[in-house]
Amino acid sequence: MMSALLRKEMPAIWHVGIGVFGKEYWFSTRIESKDLGDTETAFGMSPHATYELGQTAVEHKAFEVFLEEELSSRFNIDTYKVFTHNCNHFSRDALAFLLGEGVEMPGYILENSDRALDALPKGQALLTKSIANQVARVVMLAWGTANRSKEDIARREARRKKAMAERDSVGETEEGRRGVEEGSQPAA
């Protein structure tokens, strides 16, 4: 669809995230993360490609603080732009913090989104950008809401199961105490 709209062949503007500390971090309507094993269910597909970019000396807590204090104000639904400020750009900034400015992700990742509109006349490029950003905002808000709803349902179900297990555990303990008390009664 993107190729037809832009009148030039391009593979796609792929979702990109950073895998570190056993999680994948990415930007959609906000900065999000999931355990690496759970990201396939978040997106409904396996990664197209993964790249080993190095080891970090940054502590997990320091990275979380960086995300909250530095990146969360720059990467949220109000700042999202399909072509110029997306998950690719978030990943670039997170990677620079984790590995230093000298380490970069494969160049084509940012080039696909940054240069997607280069072949269009300026007016058409601006209109395409504007429409794409409006549509993406609606789609991402819906996706983000649905995703958070699934997470809320899963959290409620986990709490319900935990409460039932605790209740069953308390019941077993009370039954055990009654049995011991009844068993310790002197025979008549």
| CB hemisphere CA count around 35 (13 angstroms) | 2
In the block, residue with structure tokens 């209109």: 127
CA–CA distances in Å: residue 74 to residues 7, 78, 96: 31, 9, 15
Residue 165 domain-assigned (yes or no):
no
Which residues does 98 contact at the CB level (< 8 Å), separation at least 6?
A: 18, 20, 56, 58, 63
Judge contact between 116 and 2, C-beta under 8 A: yes
Residue 62 domain-assigned (yes or no):
yes
81 phi/psi in degrees, rounded to 5:
-135, 125
Residue 41 domain-assigned (yes or no):
yes
Residue 170 domain-assigned (yes or no):
no
Q: In this predicted model, what pLDDT tens digit does every residue of 79-97 receive, in sequence order?
A: 888 888 888 899 999 999 9
- The pTM of this model reads 0.65
Residue 166 domain-assigned (yes or no):
no
Residue 176 domain-assigned (yes or no):
no
Q: What is the mean pLDDT of residues 120-128?
A: 80
Residue 27 domain-assigned (yes or no):
yes
Residue 188 domain-assigned (yes or no):
no
In the block, residue with structure tokens 């690496």: 36
The tally of domains found in the chain comes to: 1
CA of residue 57 relative to chain centroid, distance: 22
Structural domain boundaries enclosing 80: 2-152
Give me the CATH number covering residue 63.
3.90.1720.30
Q: What is the predicted pLDDT for the residue at 10?
A: 55
Q: Is the pLDDT of residue 185 over 50?
A: no
